[in-house]
Amino acid sequence: MPVDPMPEPTEAAATVPPDEGLAGIGRLLAGRDVAVLTGAGLSTESGIPDYRGPTGSLRRRTPMTYQEFTASAEARRRYWARSHAGWRSIALARPNAGHRAVQELRRDGLVSAVITQNVDGLHHAAGTLDAVELHGGLDRVVCLGCGRTSTREDLDRRLRELNGAFRDESSPRNADGDVELPDALVASFRVAACRACGGILKPDVVFFGESVPKPRVRHCFELVDGARALLVLGSSLAVMSGLRFVRHAARAGKPVAILNQGSTRGDAYAAVRVSLPLGPALTELAEGLAAAP
């Protein structure tokens, strides 16, 4: 994703009282054809920390950039060691009430499209099979040499064979699915290469310093263009890769609503701005709309 500085602290747009705000989002959804953009805040209730959100506070360290990953074998060793240690907990995470509510809204046509900044696969696991993974998915691996993709499950088996009892799941993990590890442990880690060509394997996710593939961006703009409104769920919109859709919708005169715990970089564009825990709020919305005549 494009490297983009964290937002300057801004005056949060006048936040409507939560009850009225949630009703405002309900009215927006009742009009149908709402595109949804989701972020890490939607997955925190599945046990995946949001390192930018209110529960994650400050990031523990700067995420590895695409340039570091591709330029240095040591960086790749560090990345894969941490990722290997944290992968099982991401793989075991399950969709929460928020993902399920989004799927109900999608199924009923109130939501026309789901674009997610998350790489945890939880929208798909909740049944939203057409959710667009803007930043890719951790369940796939791509070879930088031959371009082949393979499953992370397969790589996980290979890494376990190469590294025996390496796994250490005691450390905190972040939304990218990796953990902090002692240097000595990282130094002993053995990385796997592409089976087909011996090339460098990379998770099929967009790193910092890397662009989202253009066709995927175009597709997302089309989804926003085809919608009547845009609803942001659980994203602080700190990176431009998500914020641009909010700006695009606002410029086109479409209402933007934001449901997120804490302020966001898109607040100035939002007609409705609600700060509530996502799972309960989305469940209330979906139930209220399902009961509506």
Alpha helices in 44-108 (DSSP H): 66-71, 73-92, 97-107
Task: Tell the smallest beta-carbon distance from residue 256 to Zn ion (Å).
Answer: 42
Q: How far apart are CA 195 and CA 149, in angstroms?
A: 11
Q: In the block, which residue shows the tokens 């796997």? A: 192
Q: Which range binds Zn ion by CB under 5 A, 13-21, 27-35, 136-144, 206-214?
A: 136-144
How far, in Å, CA of 128 to CA of 101, rounded?
10
- Closer to Zn ion at the Cβ: 47 or 147? 147
Least separation in angstroms between residue 146's CB and Zn ion is: 3
Interface with Zn ion (CB under 5 A), residue total 7
Amino acid identity of residue 245, one-letter, is: F
Residue 143 interacts with Zn ion (CB under 5 A): yes or no: yes
Expressed in angstroms, the distance from the first to the final Cα of the chain is 42
**Half-sphere exposure in the Cβ direction for 91 (13 Å, CA):** 15
- Phi first, then psi: what are they for 111, rounded to 5°? -105, 125
Q: On the CB side of 234, how many CA atoms lie within 13 Å of its CA?
A: 31
Q: Residue by residue, what is the 3-state secondary structure of 163-182?
A: HHHHCCCCCCECCCCCECCC
Question: Is 162 among the residues that bind Zn ion (CB under 5 A)?
Answer: no
Question: What is the spatial distance between Cα 150 and Cα 131, in angstroms, rounded to a whole number?
Answer: 20
**Residue 146 binds Zn ion (CB under 5 A):** yes
Identify which of residues 66 and 221 has a Cβ nearer to Zn ion in the complex: 66
- Site map (CB under 5 A) of Zn ion, residues 193-222, x = contact: -x-xx-x-----------------------
Q: Is 155 in the site for Zn ion (CB under 5 A)?
A: no
Residues 37-96 that bind Zn ion (CB under 5 A): none
The DSSP call for residue 254 is -
Could you give the string, one character per residue 166-195, with x where binding to Zn ion holds by CB under 5 A and - elsewhere? Answer: ----------------------------x-
**Is 77 or 195 the residue whose CB approaches Zn ion more closely?**
195
Write down the catalytic residue from 99, 135, 219, 248: 135
- 99 part of the active site: no
b/e per residue 1-36 (b: at least 16 CB within 10 A): beeeeeeeeeeebeebeeeebbbbbbebbeebebbb
Residue (141 or 238) nearer to Zn ion, CB: 141
Smallest separation, CB 205 to Zn ion (Å): 17
When the beta carbons of 30 and 146 are compared against Zn ion, the nearer one is 146
CB of 163 to Zn ion, least distance (A): 21
CB of 52 to Zn ion, least distance (A): 33
Q: Which residues bind Zn ion (CB under 5 A)?
A: 143, 145-146, 194, 196-197, 199
Question: Which residues are tagged catalytic?
Answer: 135
